[in-house]
Structure 1
Amino acid sequence: MRYSLRQLEVFLATARHENISRAARDLAMSQSAASGALKDLESQFEVRLFDRRGKRLRLSELGAQLRPRAENLLARAWELEQALSGREVAGRLRVGATLTIGNYLAVPMIADFRRHFPDADVALTVANTEAIAEGVAGFELDMGLVEGELNHPDLETRHWRADELQVFAAPGHPLAGREALTDADLVGLPWIVRESGSGTRQTFDRAMSGILTDLDIALELQHTEAIKRAVEAGLGVGCLSRISLVEAFARGSLVPLAVPGRDFRRQLNLILHRDKFHSSALVEWLQLCEQSWSDILPGVVNASRSHQ
């Protein structure tokens, strides 16, 4: 064999970081050793895997084509090593999740996974839908749990579970006791919402079709807790997943507002790279995702609906 797994590790780390120094640190190697491994790999086959632009190394067309195969080959080698050591489900699983899922759903799922597979480690990255999609597409994440809708040629989207956004306000808000809000009411309110690129904002914008440009968007914030605090302070009304509002509704620090004329339903989705090798850890995690709604989440969903 004219290449080594170590050379492939250097190639992939360099593809992730676009920098040989950061790739070397990631692999606990010296920069010279990492640079030599990459140079040897290219010279052995007389190819160029990266286009060098200053200090940045961008994948060449050939490098981009080879990256999924190298990722899968290393994943299979890792699987073989774990099987030889008697640990079928082990190693690190890199999961990405959008804010609502990451902050309110993923932690109990990770705890359950670790109880069943103590030799496995789940690294959780929480960001908005666009960032998680980029991570999965770039092989920086093994899979993603997202709230938004995607159309990416390299990604497979699987419907996971249903969710719904809820308009809410502080208990002392003038419309808090209103049986139902009209479009005229919605246009007259200052709104505190998630930023563009988030799945929650995507659903909100779609639900407000026809009046979106007339809404007063007072604040755009990247975190659900910041939005809840701002609404509690009386700065405006918000619209977030019901899952994220259960505790606040139970405390009475926030109250739901009924908007029957608007559709706030959405799908939570699983995203995977089409060329990603499914390790045993990833297979088990996907099975847990399918089970989690019935095993972990019904109490959350039912509790939120009881405050409608």
Structure 2
Amino acid sequence: MDYHLLTFVTVVDKKNFTRAAETLHISQSAVTLSIKALEKDYDLKLLDRNNKYVRLTKAGEILYHHAKKILSHYDLMNRLIDDLSHSASGILTIGSSYTFGEYLLPKLISQFNGEYPLIKPNISIRNSRRIISKLLRGELDLGIVEGVMEHPKLQIQPFAQDEMVLIVSSKHPLAVKQEIKLNDLHSETWIIREEGSGTRQAINQLFSTNNFSPNEIRSFGSSQIIKESVEAGLGISILSIHTIRKELELKTLSTLRIKNNPIIRNFCYVIPKMDFQPKSVDLFLTFLQNSYTLDVLV
């Protein structure tokens, strides 16, 4: 491994020479020497720095972008070679979108750890678009996302289906209904997820298919704040049935189905297209597929 590159990336990630030195267990002077060596090699300044901040120059941005990929490939190579002679172990970096990551993944990880205690999952929860970006940058081993998408550098495979339902406050006049036409909801305030989320993608598709445009839409960044807002009577929403189980038990929310418009989407796993996958990734994907089917999760 090029330790100068590792030091440079660590300085950028930590935004501080001292914290980088602590992370790498080396002296601060050694960190400084590594940065100076790189700047001498390229005959360019890579970092603007003073006592308060560390910022990338244009040359530094280019080096950082490619150095992250180089270090990621080096780590993957070591893991693949190690897999040939040892049991699968170490960190498995999983990125998951919010619905699956917050409401289904914890139980799955617990069960997986029971069978493979030497593998240590490291979980990152983001919206689907950001999970894809992190995969392409080599920051994740695999991702779990919602909805339909394609990318030439990624293998995207559905493994389960999820039902989404209309939710209203239990005090809302619609709470007594079981089904409603979408066109009867024009005047409602819709509180929905931000662009880039799998949930938003499904809602956008529903609206587009039915040529439906609500009078007012508010975009919030998590299912939790959407649930709280709907409970408070600020509007209505559409969420996965898995995100509202506790609220249904407490009877703070009610669900309706939209007539002639069942909202079913896929949960998909996503991995980079490559000739070899680490053993820990193969084991987790096998476990994932054995745990779920393409039936709708209930």
- Measured against aligned partners, the alpha-carbon deviations of 1:178-234 in whole angstroms (never above 9, x if no partner) come to 3431233111211111112211011111111144433421x3221212211221222
d(CA) in 2 for partners of 1:24, 1:269: 39
Report the counterpart of residue 33 of structure 1 in structure 2: 30
Which TM-score applies when normalising by structure 2? 0.81
d(CA) in 2 for partners of 1:131, 1:113: 25
d(CA) in 2 for partners of 1:151, 1:187: 32
CA distance 1:158–1:188, change in 2 (3 Å): same
Which TM-score applies when normalising by structure 1? 0.78
State whether residues 12 and 67 of structure 1, in contact with CA within 8 Å, keep that contact through their aligned partners in structure 2: yes
State whether residues 183 and 212 of structure 2, in contact with CA within 8 Å, keep that contact through their aligned partners in structure 1: no
**Superposition CA RMSD, Å:** 3.3
Q: One-letter code of the match for 1:192?
A: I
Q: One-letter code of the match for 1:174?
A: P
d(CA) in 1 for partners of 2:44, 2:93: 25
Report the counterpart of residue 145 of structure 1 in structure 2: 144
CA distance 1:53–1:216, change in 2 (3 Å): same
Among 36, 40, 52, the residue aligned to 2:46: 52
State whether residues 50 and 58 of structure 1, in contact with CA within 8 Å, keep that contact through their aligned partners in structure 2: no
CA distance 1:223–1:75, change in 2 (3 Å): same
d(CA) in 2 for partners of 1:139, 1:49: 28
Shift, 1:123, TM fit: 0.9
d(CA) in 2 for partners of 1:142, 1:244: 25
SS for the counterpart of 1:188 is coil
Report the counterpart of residue 73 of structure 1 in structure 2: 74
SS for the counterpart of 1:208 is helix
CA distance 1:213–1:276, change in 2 (3 Å): farther
The 5-angstrom pairing of residues 125-274 of structure 1 reads: 125-209=124-208, 210-217=210-217, 219-274=218-273
Shift, 1:23, TM fit: 5.5
Alignment gaps of 5+ in structure 1: 303-308
In the comparison of the two structures, how many residue pairs are matched?
287
State whether residues 242 and 301 of structure 1, in contact with CA within 8 Å, keep that contact through their aligned partners in structure 2: no
- Identity across matched positions, percent: 25
State whether residues 166 and 257 of structure 1, in contact with CA within 8 Å, keep that contact through their aligned partners in structure 2: yes
d(CA) in 2 for partners of 1:175, 1:135: 40
State whether residues 160 and 268 of structure 1, in contact with CA within 8 Å, keep that contact through their aligned partners in structure 2: yes
Shift, 1:154, TM fit: 3.2
